Amino acid sequence: RYEPVDTRGRTADFGYVQVTSTENLKAYVCNSPEVAARSKEPLWQCTGRVVYGTDKMSLPSTAANKPVVLPKMVQMLLPHAAAWSAQVIEHWTAILEKGKKREVFLDLLERLTVLVGTNGNILRSEIDGCILMKNFVAGSPEVRIMLNDDFFVGKSDVVSRADSVAVRLDNCTFHESVDLTNFETTRTLLVNPPEGEFVVMKYRLSEANQSNLPFTLIAFVDENEDSKILEVILKLRCNVPSSSYANNIVVKVPVPKLTDSVSHQITSGIQTGDFKSSEKAWYWNIKKLQGGSEISASIKVHMSEIRKSSRKEVGPVSLDFEIPMHICSGLQIRYVRVQDREKACSLFRWVRYITHRRLWRMYRKNTEEHNGQIEFCLSE
């Protein structure tokens, strides 16, 4: 829910918000925190969107509902903390710590941008990624994150060789709490994290390896000029390792405006097809697709009348998906160590990998003007 924030010139400048971090805003929240009701939907969020299909990968914890500010009564008493007795401090500490797990969550998230020609050559392939941390350890913990040492930042002759298996990143930026003293030598990030959620590292890769792209999507339109029926054949292959899988896949196929109905032929079970007349689009829903497998669908578009331009109205085809525990860039988190310099107690840390899309589309260009190119485009 929304909470009023007492800014009074501290977080805003001429009406424009300047401070948005949890660590800074929590001091100005006026209301006492209330634990939200547990939802049946996955609790994790990424860039403002719910990350679907991670029910089995999400932790059976109330971490997403934990408050990051002290109760209002404690906040009112903090200015007088110097006069508290040791017994009072111990009493409130016990209340705040009771039943609270001291946890640090790390998500390695990636979004893709891909452009493919009809001959199968990759015309454009980009990856935007980040390491997202959710910290529920109060005080001043020290988090040490070690990444794989076979990646480079910037252009390098070592990585430009065809036989190189190293990971190359065009650029990367870090949160102000990250100490980069040992980053160049050991690829280790030393983080003194604020409470709450923040992005530890952002990175970008402009030329992703073709073999690491998670999907191959092919669409073919068969048209009889004397018929009111268009047949569209779709083939989708999941290129991730067989030990991984993609879930909640949705393929959207826009159809001509004169479409009356759509019939389809797909395998039963984890696949369904649905035509939405109001949107003039057919949806292919795939609950789960194991790595290395390939599926296909055939749809027949029934139109009210014959038009030569009907074929051009098919598309662009869009693809929605999520791949848990798989990253396309090759970046890895080797280990995470959390140390509380104030208390010697058990700390929990969790790491998760997710690849997803914002918008993946396949455009059918005019053959004469564009040599029959097909675009797979994922963008903001």
**pLDDT given at position 310:** 79
377 falls within a domain: no
Same domain, 261 and 347: no
Domain of residue 246, residue span: 215-324
pLDDT greater than 60 at residue 76: no
CA–CA separation, 165 and 156 (whole Å): 13
pLDDT greater than 90 at residue 136: no
In 3D space, the residue among 117, 316, 292, 321 whose CA is nearest the CA of residue 232 turns out to be 316
Q: Report, as an integer, the average pLDDT of 340-367.
A: 69
- Mark residue 54 as left, alpha or beta (left: phi above 0; alpha: psi -120 to 50; beta: remaining): alpha
**pLDDT given at position 342:** 67
Task: Tally the domains of the chain.
Answer: 2
73 or 307: which leads in pLDDT: 307
Of 50-59, 228-237, 281-290, 371-380, which gets the smallest average pLDDT? 371-380
295 falls within a domain: yes
CA–CA separation, 345 and 284 (whole Å): 50
The pTM for the full model equals 0.66
Same domain, 205 and 332: yes
Q: Residue 207 carries which DSSP code?
A: B
Same domain, 268 and 206: no
Contact 134/102 with Cβ under 8 angstroms? Answer: no
**pLDDT given at position 144:** 92
CATH (domain of 160)? 2.60.40.1170
92 falls within a domain: no
Measured between alpha carbons, how far is residue 232 from residues 159, 281, 301 in Å?
41, 12, 8
The segment with the largest mean pLDDT, out of 27-36, 174-183, 263-272, is: 174-183
193 falls within a domain: yes
Mean residue pLDDT of the chain comes to 74
Which residues on neighbouring strands pair with residue 348, listed in sequence order?
103
Same domain, 160 and 238: no
Same domain, 199 and 332: yes
